[in-house]
């Protein structure tokens, strides 16, 4: 079974631009979560989607948004980029069945804002 894939793997953008990151979950997984990882803040939860519905959202400004499609693929968008948005963005999927909800992570998209 293929793992979680994220595209692109690396991205360089300029302040003020917007960016869209993509995540394809493991086949059959309907839950997709997004995280921002920085050296100073660690892993910060952005949002979680299940069957195209956002079920939870972290404490990020409205510039960060996401969506999920009917095939469970998810995208996140960051508008009006700031230097502080430079980070590794990780996507994770989980099966959400049974009692264990372990997440499987993709390789991440490393975003650099200049």
Binding track over 43-82 against other proteins, x by CB under 8 A: x-x--x-x----xx-x------------------------
Least distance (Å) between residue 6 CB and other proteins: 10
CA-to-CA separations, 13 to 20, 75, 87, in angstroms, rounded: 11, 17, 12
Q: Which of 92, 95, 96 is nearest to 76 (CA)?
A: 92
Based on CB atoms, which residue is closest to other proteins, 38 or 77?
38
Least distance (Å) between residue 86 CB and other proteins: 15
Count Cα neighbours of 90 within 13 Å in the Cβ-side half-sphere. Answer: 15
Q: Which of 36, 35, 33, 65 is nearest to 50 (CA)?
A: 33
Binding site for other proteins (CB under 8 A): 31, 33, 35, 42-43, 45, 48, 50, 55-56, 58, 88, 90, 92, 99-108, 110
């Amino acid at each position: 079974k293929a793992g979680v894939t994220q595209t692109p793997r690396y991205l360089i953008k300029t302040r003020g631009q917007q960016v869209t990151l993509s995540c394809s979950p493991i086949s059959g997984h309907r839950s997709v979560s997004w995280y921002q990882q920085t050296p100073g803040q660690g892993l910060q939860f952005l949002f979680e989607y299940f069957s195209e519905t956002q079920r939870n959202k972290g404490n990020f400004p409205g510039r960060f948004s996401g969506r999920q499609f009917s095939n469970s693929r998810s995208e996140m968008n960051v508008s009006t980029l700031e230097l502080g948005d430079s980070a590794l963005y990780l996507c994770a999927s989980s099966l959400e069945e049974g009692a264990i909800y372990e997440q499987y992570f993709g390789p991440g998209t490393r975003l650099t804002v200049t």
